[in-house]
Structure 1
Amino acid sequence: MLRSGRTTTEYFDKYRFEGDPVLLDDIARAMAPLVPRGIEVLAGLEMGGIPVVTALGRHTGLPCAFVRKQAKTYGTCRLAEGADVAGRRVLVVEDVVTSGGQVVLSTAELRNLGAQISEALCVIDREQGGAAALAAEGVSLSSLLTATDLRTTS
C-alpha cells in the first residue's frame, strides 16, 4: 500500500538509499546538475526528502529548508525549518513521487509562506500521475530516475 492509497506489486525501498551515506552521496551528486538555475533554497519534504535535500545541499552549496507535513504546535511552530523561504525561488525535493499528492500539498503551504515555486525534483518518479498533478499546480517535475528506468536496468 502506497501513501496515495494505491496498491502495487513494485516497491522502491527508498530507505535503502537514504540510509546508505555513500549511495545517498552518489545520488545527490547525480541530481545536482538537475537543479534549475536561479534556485535559492532547496526544500526537502518530511521524511524522505530531508536526507536527500541535505546531501543535495552539500553538492550545490544551496541552503536547505526542512518541510513538515504539518507545522509543529510547540517550539517554533513552523512548517518549514532551516533556510527562510519567503520571497525566494525554492525547489521542492522529494525522494519518491507517485500521485504527487504530498508535493502538491506542501507546495501550496510553502507558497502561502511566500516561496516562489515552479519546479520540483525527485529521486524516483513512479510515473503514476505525479507529474501531471504538479503541472496542474504550475510545477514541473524532474527526476533522476523513473520507474521505467528501474525496470529496464533490473
Structure 2
Amino acid sequence: MLVSIILLVISAIIVYLLFVQLVLYIDTGTNEYYVRVKGLMKANIMPHKEELIQIRIRAFFMNFYFYPINKIGTPIKPSTTKKLGIKKKRQLGFRKGLRLLRSFEVKRFYVELDTGNCITNAKLYPLFALLNQKSGNFRINFEGKNQLILHLQNRPIHILKSFINF
C-alpha cells in the first residue's frame, strides 16, 4: 500500500514537471530579463552597482544571488585523471533545431529600432511595414529609441516531442 502511494506521488510529480510552463521574457526598455518555471523557480538577470550583473534565483520562497562575471577570471584547474576514451560530441542538427524552435510559442514580439542614420531608417521603413502585416509588431523611429520585447512560452513535453518525433 505504501509503495503504491509513493509511486503515485512520484508519477504525479513527473507529470507535473512535463506539463509545467517555461517562460522566457526579454524587455530591453525596462531592463527586465528572466526565465521562469511557473510554480517552481524564477531567474532574473539584474544590474549590480559593484559587479556588472547579478542573477537572482527565487526557488521555493528563497532567494539566491549569483555573480557570473566573478567566475570568468578564475583559472580552471586541470584534471589529474586521464581520459580513457574519446567521446563523440552529439550535434543537434538543422531539422531537430528547427523543430525545437517551432515548439516555442511566441506570446509577444515587439521591435522598435532607430539605426541613427535617417537614410537607413527610411530604407527600413517599407520592410517593417511589410513585416507588420504578416507577423509581429515592428516599428522604425527617428527619435533614438531602441527596444526589444520577446515573450516565449513552452512546455517540457513539447521539447521532448520535438526530439522524439521524426
**Higher RCO (CA 8 Å, separation ≥ 6 residues):** 2
The structure carrying a bigger strand percent of its residues is 2
TM, length-normalised to structure 2: 0.20
- Which has the greater radius of gyration? 2
Length-normalised TM-score, structure 1: 0.21
